[in-house]
Amino acid sequence: MSYSLGTLEELPKDYVQSLADLSLAPLWPALRTVLPHDFPTRSTKPFAWRYKQIRSHLMRAGELTPIEKAERRVLVLCNPGLGLDKLIATPTIYAGLQLILPGETAEAHRHTPSAIRFVIEGDGGYTIVNGEKCPMEKGDLILTPSGTWHEHWHAGKNPVVWLDALDLPVIYALEHSYVIEGKRQAANNAPDRSQTAYRRAGLVPYGSLGKRREDYPLIRFPWREVRQSLVDLASGSGAKDPVHLAYVNPETGAECLPILGFSAQLLRPGEEVAPPRRSSSSILHVIEGRGVSEIDGTTIEWDESDTVAIPTHAQVRHRNTGDKPVFVFHVDDAPLHRKLGVYEEH
């Protein structure tokens, strides 16, 4: 059926005003804005934040603003299609680059949004999550689920930088976003559970069998082990098989967090991958290597430590343009889409 919807201009002005006075609005003039035919309306732009350009500004932030005045010293990755005021990389993903300098402490707090830290550079940093001390090494993924106490420390000599990713836009839209400040935690001096209880895939503490599974049994995913797993998977896969691993709860096999999902991918030298067109939005962070992405016809070159925004329903191709393997980290909102029953692949 083909027809034209009525417009606001076709309605008498006194009628429109009488509706507005009652906090009412007619749907039909705006129906295609919120419910377009065949394909969603998108404002998110394919975009790359280049670490080599950003790093000096991040270091200057360390000179300009002491940690005591920042609480968390972060430069937010703002998608140009969504505006600087929104503070979001995609409609559901907040992302920022956080800096902590030697000797600094980012005091303990907890908040309703869930967050992750993905380490970009530096050594000697660590995060304490509900009393569990997690070292921060390049490429490590550290979870801070909703409501967990967390604080950051730096006992090394050089700046430590990591990528923050939060489901903040979703929680904020629910009018449920807030933070509570707390006292410094008494850190457990034992190795974190990534080094003890959950060191190998397919193995969990025997005592967990038959019990209610933990929501977040594993907080830290060391990059050295994830990287080796990707290399091993590549060696046992066909040349055209994608080398892509998901981060999951080791006791349930489900995604680590309720709203955002995480995965790591290896691209062989010269390899090009074209994943299905997915309803979820995502960001891609480059751990090692260089390459190029085609996102809805936009060509974006990327290098180590760059971060790329990918809109919903995007047609995507990624290609390794170097002579060494490329390793990338993905953040997406597919878990939320699945829970809502709206996830699609084409």
Answer whether 198's CB lies under 8 Å from 218's CB: yes
Residue-wise pLDDT tens digits, 49-78: 999 999 999 999 999 999 999 999 999 999
Say what percent of the chain tops pLDDT 70.
99
Chain mean pLDDT for the chain: 96
Question: 1 pLDDT band (50/70/90 cuts)?
Answer: low
Model confidence at 298, in pLDDT bands (50, 70, 90)?
A: very high
pLDDT exceeds cutoff 80 at 281: yes
pLDDT at position 7 over 70: yes
Assess whether pLDDT exceeds 80 at residue 309: yes
Could you give the CA distance from residue 267 to residue 273 in angstroms, rounded to a whole number? Answer: 8
Mean pLDDT of 285-305: 98
**CB-based contact 89:283 (threshold 8 Å):** yes
Does the structure show a pLDDT above 90 at 176?
A: yes
Candidates 251, 282, 265, 247; CA nearest to 320 is 265
Q: What is the pLDDT of residues 258-269, one digit of tens each?
A: 999 999 999 999
Asked if pLDDT for residue 239 goes beyond 80, the answer is yes
Does the pLDDT value for residue 172 go beyond 90? yes
Tell me if 248 sits within 8 A of 255, measured CB to CB: yes
pLDDT higher than 70, residue 2: no
Q: Provide the pLDDT confidence category of residue 187 given band limits of 50, 70 and 90.
A: confident
Portion of the chain with pLDDT greater than 90, in percent: 94
Residue 81 φ/ψ, nearest 5 degrees: -80, -15
pLDDT in tens, 93-128: 999 999 999 999 999 999 999 999 999 999 999 999
Q: Domains of the chain, with CATH numbers?
A: 11-198+217-340 (2.60.120.10)
- Spatial CA neighbour of 288 closest among 269, 315, 272, 316: 269
What confidence category does residue 25 fall into, taking pLDDT thresholds of 50, 70 and 90?
very high
- pLDDT reading at 3 higher than 80: no
Q: What is the pLDDT of residue 213?
A: 79
Please enumerate in sequence order all residues whose Cβ is within 8 A of that of 131, keeping only pairs 6 or more positions apart, or say none. Answer: 149, 185, 186, 187, 188
Span 122-166, pLDDT tens digits:
999 999 999 999 999 999 999 999 999 999 999 999 999 999 999
Q: Are the C-beta atoms of residues 309 and 280 closer than 8 Å to each other?
A: no
Position 132 scores a pLDDT of 96
Q: Show the tokens assigned to 194.
A: 């990534």
Residue 188 has a pLDDT of: 83
